[in-house]
Amino acid sequence: MAENAAGFSDLNQDKYDKDELKIICLGDSAVGKSKLMERFLMQVYHSKDLSTYALTLYKYPTTVDGKTILVDFWDTAGQEKFQSMHPSYYHKAHACIMVFDIQRKITYKNLGNWYKELREYRPEIPCILVANKIDADMKVTQKNFSFAKKHGLPFYFVSAADGTNVVKLFRDAIKLALSYKLNSCDFMDEVMRELENFDMDKKDDYSDKEDDSLKEDKIKKT
């Protein structure tokens, strides 16, 4: 499987209307988003890494119920300066993995902000809540984390360091994303579909005049 620092050619999001899935990862900086993805995708774990400063796409071909699909996992930095993500990050996503660090309470408190922003752009997509770094304190699994219950989210205790629940988390995220894609009744999706059809009708009427306003947003990251 290939890991690409995202170039614009990788960011053509029309492909997500067809047979590809997009799964995004949210959470504060250093909660372990990249390490979780690396653990799942490479089956290795390096305990030291630099913060991710730009968007990274992890491309993962897989089979679900005999069907071959390509999953794009989107990973980005969670630094304070990026606390609000560019809308393109959410665009056409089919599922979200939202991570906090059991060793830093603030990352749990900030979930509300991430969740609010997610729901502004993707009101209906499945979202899995993840408590990471349980290798550092197994007792935490006895504690009650009300955020998941309050928002009706599936909740997993995981560790990128020792691999606990990582495969299950990602397999379930892929299944949820696929099922969302196949059965989506997301209102925003319906609106987008209607807009796309409307756009096509318009193109039929006015032949080759292209409507720039409906072109994909490009991510401009520094």
Instruction: Tell me which of 3, 10, 16, 52 binds Mg ion, using CB under 5 A.
Output: 52
| Distance in Å, CB of 219 to ligand GTP, minimum | 16
92 near ligand GTP, rule: CB under 6 A: no
| Distance in Å, CB of 159 to ligand GTP, minimum | 4
* Phi and psi angles of residue 139, each rounded to the nearest 5 degrees, phi first: -60, -20
| Distance in Å, CB of 92 to ligand GTP, minimum | 22
Classify each residue of 31-63 as buried b or exposed e, where b means 16 or more C-beta atoms within 10 Å of its C-beta: bbbbbbbbbbbeeebeeeeeebeebbbbebeee
Q: How far apart (Å, rounded) are the C-alpha atoms in residues 97 and 173?
A: 7
Instruction: Tell me which of 13, 24, 31, 34 binds Mg ion, using CB under 5 A.
Output: 34
Nearer to Mg ion by Cβ, of 52 and 179: the residue is 52
Please give the residue whose beta carbon sits closest to ligand GTP in the complex.
32
3-state SS class at 120: helix
43 near ligand GTP, rule: CB under 6 A: no
Nearer to ligand GTP by Cβ, of 13 and 132: the residue is 132
Taking residue 156's Cβ as centre, other Cβ atoms within 10 Å add up to: 21
Q: How far apart (Å, rounded) are the C-alpha atoms in residues 140 and 212?
A: 51
Nearer to ligand GTP by Cβ, of 34 and 110: the residue is 34
29 near Mg ion, rule: CB under 5 A: no
13 near Mg ion, rule: CB under 5 A: no
Q: How far apart (Å, rounded) are the C-alpha atoms in residues 118 and 124?
A: 9
At which residue do the structure tokens 């609106």 appear?
191
Beta-strand pair 67-75/20-26: parallel
126 near ligand GTP, rule: CB under 6 A: no
Binding site for Mg ion (CB under 5 A): 33-34, 52
Instruction: List residues near ligand GTP by CB under 6 A.
Output: 27, 29-35, 47, 49, 51-52, 77-79, 132-133, 135-136, 159-161
